[in-house]
Amino acid sequence: MSTVLSVEKLSTFFRTDKGIAKAVENVSFSVDKGEMLGLIGESGCGKTTVAQSILRLIEYPGKVVAGSVYLNGKNLLKATDSELTGLRWREISVIPQSAMNALNPVYTVGDQIIEAILLHDNVNKKEAVERTKRLLELVGIDGERWKSYPHEFSGGMKQRVAIAMALACNPKLVISDESTTGLDVLTQAQVIALIKNLQKKMNLSVILISHDLPMVTSICDRIAIMYAGNLVEWASTKEILNDARHPYSKALLNATPDLSNSEREVISIPGSVPSLVNIPTCCRFHTRCPYAFDRCRQETPEFMEIKPGHYVACFLEEEQNG
Amino acid sequence: MGKFVAGKFLQYVIVIILMVTLNFLLPRVMPGNPLVFLAGEDVGFMSSAEKEAILEKHGLNDSIVQQYGTYLKNIFTGEFGFSYQQKRPIIELLKERLPWTILLSGLGLVLSTIIGVLFGTISAWKRGTKTDVNLLTMFMFLSAMPSFWVGMILVSVFSVQLGWLPVFGAESAWSNLKGMDRFIDIVKHLILPLTTLVLISVTSTFMIMRYSMLNVLGEDYIMIAKAKGVKEKVIRYKHAMRNALLPVATVFMLSLGFTLGGATVIETVFAYPGVGRLMFESVLSRDYPLIQATFLIITFSVVIANFLADLIYPFLDPKVGRHNG
């Protein structure tokens, strides 16, 4: 399988009044063609910053300070503005966090989808309208409603419109950034099923950003787990479920209720996420890790491949393997 | 749409009826002699026959219902009564003063809105940069200056020291200028009061626009527009400014209603013959019929501006009204 996106040692910092916040540091992963990657972690761990770094949407006081992002072999972080305009939405698009606000309230949903089509594809207005109608039908909305304003749709429908918009220019990669936030559970399930369905149909690559571990494990091919700005583990869903290595991944799995096994106790993770401002060199999970030892407090563990396709950043692995 | 307009219209008709009725009742429930109200303090020197004549002339010997009927009829025919201080019918005074007020206050409102919106947009777009900080400081400084002071400084510099512009009035008296010459004369007289008005009122629009724009720029749809590859200028004006303008439009409409009331302080400093100064003069000389008439004009224009706002707003914000498309 060919790699569509590869992120290498990406670091994005924010300047704050108190110092430098290392929101994302040394993050590496990749997405294959037609693959769905789940990027998970608790709120504030840097998932959205990763997405925005890939999309080149980081703005002052934030800055991508190191690393590279290759989309089909082209380094996005070094692309010029005009190259970037050409890549946007044709190659990579996004369904934003709480897609409820993804639509501009003063324009019709059709206008907003058509805007993207006319920007990137050499078609006339009439063809763009036709395509917009087809896209809306694709996500289960009556095509004739392209003339409606966002407030005339329900939350779930707005979500679908945002998905239709993300697909407007046949992108290779779609980043879905917690796009089911704010929807009720049933609608969430429908929207996720829709994304999965379209991904298969169009052989899309998708990065699904979420904090909902059971949902991610049920539909993603691979999973990358983030903690406090670092990637701690990255492996196939099966590996994560059966052989999670990082203490945080294990704790996360233990903290999730299991419907098929009600006997199992749900264990919360004690402590809280450290502040990312002026964070010293260390394993960022050491304050909450039951296995932490001296080295964890002084050095940052490397993100390394412990078996084919399974990456972990933990000193325990190094110790075990000598 | 027709139904929407008709419904709104009916609401405002009711408001106007209430307002006019209040205006009718107020002087009648106020303590004191109605003669003083109608003829001023001179009433003490009148003979009883003269007093009786005044009461008769104004229909004050009729029943209250009859009086109300006459009052309504008078309003519809533009008969606002007589200003005893200026010894002229009020409608004539208003006809004379209103154009100047519309010129000064109307133009002032439009200009300060345009300038405030432009700089507010730039300031928000460049948030935290030197440009933003400088603009903010400048506009805060402007808003802190009292209007009469700004007016006097401008007069002393541009009229007295430099002699470029006239000191007061709306046009040169007894000059009998015609056509283009008169136009230039009016513009020359307008520059200083207009500048003062814009300087002191521009900050509120600037602040509202800047804040509103900052809010909009944080919205997801702006991020999406960037991710879509929309050009920066198009994002700024089509996506962000269009949304950020909504609160400014509301404030504009509200201020529009008050423009007919004139800019009292500035009109006084520049001896500009607008409604604001007329009102000021009428209050000073306790010219009650005139006060009542100017208040009525202001309330009418506020109601009309609100009605206009109701009609226009659905086109600005699709979330509002326009139920039948």
Does residue B322 form part of some domain? no
Are B220 and A55 within 8 A, CB to CB?
Answer: no
Contacts of B224 in chain A (CB under 8 A): 94, 96, 102, 162, 165
Shared-domain flag, residues B79 and B97: no
Q: Are B153 and B160 in contact (CB under 8 A)?
A: no
The burial class, CB within 10 Å (0-12 / 13-18 / 19+), for A124 is exposed
Instruction: Summarize the confidence of residues A4-8 as an average pLDDT.
Output: 94
The ipTM (two decimal places) reads 0.85
φ, ψ of residue A27 in degrees (nearest 5): -95, 125
Quick: pLDDT tens for A291-302.
999 999 999 999
Q: How far apart are CA A69 and CA A53, in angstroms?
A: 9
Contacts of A120 in chain B (CB under 8 A): 229
Distance from the first to the final alpha carbon of chain B: 6
The burial class, CB within 10 Å (0-12 / 13-18 / 19+), for B128 is exposed
Identify the weakest region by mean pLDDT among A76-85, A117-126, B20-29, B57-66.
B57-66
Quick: pLDDT tens for A38-53.
999 988 889 999 999 9
- Give the gap in angstroms from C-alpha A286 to the nearest C-alpha of chain B: 34
Shared-domain flag, residues B222 and B124: yes
Chain B residues with CB under 8 Å of a chain A CB are 128, 219-221, 223-231, 239, 242-243, 316-319
Q: List the beta bridge partners of residue B175.
A: none
Token reading at A303: 């993100």
Quick count: other Cβ atoms within 10 Å of Cβ A315?
A: 20
φ, ψ of residue A72 in degrees (nearest 5): 50, 45
Contacts of B221 in chain A (CB under 8 A): 101-105, 112
Q: Which of A95, A110, A114, A104 is nearest to A55 (CA)?
A: A95
The residue ranges of every structural domain in chain A are 3-91+171-320, 103-170
φ, ψ of residue A43 in degrees (nearest 5): -55, 135
Shared-domain flag, residues B112 and B169: yes
Give the position of tokens 């309504």.
B72
Q: Mutation test of the interface with chain A: which of B130, B223, B243, B246, choosing the one with the most A Cβ atoms within 10 A?
A: B223
Nearest CB to B224; choose among A86, A87, A94: A94
Residue A310 touches partner B, C-beta closer than 8 Å: no
Does residue B199 form part of some domain? yes
pLDDT-derived band at B325 (thresholds 50, 70, 90) equals very low
pLDDT-derived band at B37 (thresholds 50, 70, 90) equals low
Q: Are A22 and A13 in contact (CB under 8 A)?
A: yes
- Give the gap in angstroms from C-alpha A47 to the nearest C-alpha of chain B: 16
B175 or A55: which carries more pLDDT confidence? A55
Q: Which amino acid is at B285?
A: S
The per-residue pLDDT for B316 is 85
Are B224 and A102 within 8 A, CB to CB?
Answer: yes
**Structural element, H or E, at residue B191:** helix B179-217
Question: Scanning every residue of chain A, which has its alpha carbon at the shortest distance from the alpha carbon of B317?
Answer: A106
Query: DSSP letter at B79?
Result: -
The per-residue pLDDT for A33 is 93
**What does pLDDT average to over chain A?**
89
**What does pLDDT average to over chain B?**
83
φ, ψ of residue B176 in degrees (nearest 5): 60, 40
Does residue B310 form part of some domain? yes
Does residue B66 form part of some domain? yes
Give the position of tokens 């990637």.
A231
The per-residue pLDDT for A301 is 92
Helices A185-202, A155-166: crossing angle, 10 deg rounding: 20
Quick: pLDDT tens for B148-158.
888 888 888 88
pLDDT-derived band at A227 (thresholds 50, 70, 90) equals very high
Cα-based distances in Å from A205 to A4, A210, B121: 7, 16, 38
Shared-domain flag, residues B226 and B122: yes
Are A89 and B228 within 8 A, CB to CB?
Answer: yes
Contacts with A124 (C-beta within 8 Å, 6 or more apart), sequence order: none
Q: Which of A35, A28, A26, A27 is nearest to A3 (CA)?
A: A35
The burial class, CB within 10 Å (0-12 / 13-18 / 19+), for A78 is exposed
Question: Scanning every residue of chain B, which has its alpha carbon at the shortest distance from the alpha carbon of A98?
Answer: B220
Domain termination site, one of B73, B89, B105: B89
Residue B90, pLDDT > 70, answer yes
- Starting at the edge strand found earlier in the chain, the sheet holding A74-75 runs A19-32, A3-16, A62-71, A74-75
Shared-domain flag, residues B78 and B100: no
Q: How far apart are CA A207 and CA A188, in angstroms?
A: 17
Assign 3-class secondary structure to chain A.
CCEEEEEEEEEEEEEECCEEEEEEEEEEEEEECCCEEEEECCCCCCHHHHHHHHCCCCCCCEEEEEEEEEECCEEHHHCCHHHHHHHECCCEEEECCCHHHCCCCCCCHHHHHHHHHHHHCCCCHHHHHHHHHHHHHHCCCCHHHHHCCHHHCCHHHHHHHHHHHHCCCCCCEEEEECCCCCCCHHHHHHHHHHHHHHHHHHCCEEEEEECCHHHHHHHCCEEEEEECCEEEEEEEHHHHHHHCCCHHHHHHHHCCCCCCCCCCCCCCCCCCCCCCECCCCCCCCCCCCCCCCHHHHHCCCCCEEEECCEEECCHHHHHHCC
Quick: pLDDT tens for A243-275.
999 999 999 988 888 777 777 788 888 888 888
Are B226 and A57 within 8 A, CB to CB?
Answer: yes
Q: How far apart are CA B207 and CA B204, in angstroms?
A: 5
Q: List the beta bridge partners of residue A6.
A: A30, A70
Residue A10, pLDDT > 70, answer yes
Count of A-B CB contacts under 8 Å: 63
Q: Domain residues for B204?
A: 90-314
Contacts of A132 in chain B (CB under 8 A): none
Does residue B251 form part of some domain? yes
φ, ψ of residue B148 in degrees (nearest 5): -65, -35
Shared-domain flag, residues B108 and B211: yes
Q: Which of A232, A194, A231 is nearest to A314 (CA)?
A: A232
Shared-domain flag, residues B194 and B285: yes
Q: Are A228 and A33 in contact (CB under 8 A)?
A: no
Shared-domain flag, residues B164 and B269: yes
Quick count: other Cβ atoms within 10 Å of Cβ A268?
A: 8
Residue A238, pLDDT > 90, answer yes
Q: Which amino acid is at A6?
A: S
Cα-based distances in Å from B184 to A37, B97, B188, B191, B195: 71, 20, 6, 11, 16
pLDDT-derived band at A34 (thresholds 50, 70, 90) equals very high
Q: Which of A232, A233, A230 is nearest to A222 (CA)?
A: A233
Are B221 and A104 within 8 A, CB to CB?
Answer: yes
Contacts with B182 (C-beta within 8 Å, 6 or more apart), sequence order: B171
φ, ψ of residue B286 in degrees (nearest 5): 50, 45
- Give the gap in angstroms from C-alpha B243 to the nearest C-alpha of chain A: 7
Shared-domain flag, residues B101 and B84: no
Q: Which of A56, A78, A26 is nearest to A281 (CA)?
A: A26
Nearest CB to A55; choose among B220, B227, B243: B227
A71 or B43: which carries more pLDDT confidence? A71
Contacts of B318 in chain A (CB under 8 A): 105-106, 149, 151
The per-residue pLDDT for A267 is 84
- The percent of residues above 90 in pLDDT, for chain A, comes to 55
Q: List the beta bridge partners of residue A30.
A: A6
Does residue B189 form part of some domain? yes
Shared-domain flag, residues B241 and B182: yes
Q: List the beta bridge partners of residue A173.
A: A92, A205
Q: Mutation test of the interface with chain A: which of B126, B131, B214, B220, choosing the one with the most A Cβ atoms within 10 A?
A: B220
Identify the weakest region by mean pLDDT among A102-106, B5-9, B288-292.
B288-292
Residue B123, pLDDT > 50, answer yes
Shared-domain flag, residues B285 and B297: yes
In the three-class reduction of DSSP (H, G, I as helix; E, B as strand; rest coil), residue B88 is classed as strand
User: How far is C-alpha A188 from the geometric centre of its chain's CA atoms?
Assistant: 16
pLDDT-derived band at B66 (thresholds 50, 70, 90) equals confident
Domain count, chain B: 2
Does residue B320 form part of some domain? no
Identify the weakest region by mean pLDDT among A26-30, A146-150, B152-156, B243-247.
B152-156
Task: List the alpha helices (DSSP H) in B218-240.
Answer: 220-228, 232-234
Are B220 and A99 within 8 A, CB to CB?
Answer: yes
The per-residue pLDDT for B281 is 83
Residue A83 touches partner B, C-beta closer than 8 Å: no
Residue A158 touches partner B, C-beta closer than 8 Å: no
pLDDT-derived band at B137 (thresholds 50, 70, 90) equals very high
Quick: pLDDT tens for A182-200.
778 888 888 888 889 889 9
Q: How far apart are CA A170 and CA A3, in angstroms?
A: 18
Shared-domain flag, residues B18 and B114: no
Quick: pLDDT tens for B273-317.
888 888 888 878 777 778 778 888 888 888 888 888 888 888 888
Tell me the CATH architecture of domain A3-91+171-320.
3-Layer(aba) Sandwich (3.40)
Residue A58, pLDDT > 50, answer yes
Does residue B324 form part of some domain? no
Highest mean pLDDT range out of A78-92, B34-48, B84-98?
A78-92
The per-residue pLDDT for B94 is 84
| Cis bond upstream, residue B193 (ω within 30) | no
Show the beta-strand stretches assigned E in chain B: 82-83, 88-89
Are B229 and A84 within 8 A, CB to CB?
Answer: yes
Are A98 and B226 within 8 A, CB to CB?
Answer: no
Nearest CB to A98; choose among B128, B220, B227: B220
pLDDT-derived band at B324 (thresholds 50, 70, 90) equals very low
Residue A117 touches partner B, C-beta closer than 8 Å: no
User: How far is C-alpha B166 from the geometric centre of its chain's CA atoms?
Assistant: 24
Q: Are B117 and B211 in contact (CB under 8 A)?
A: no
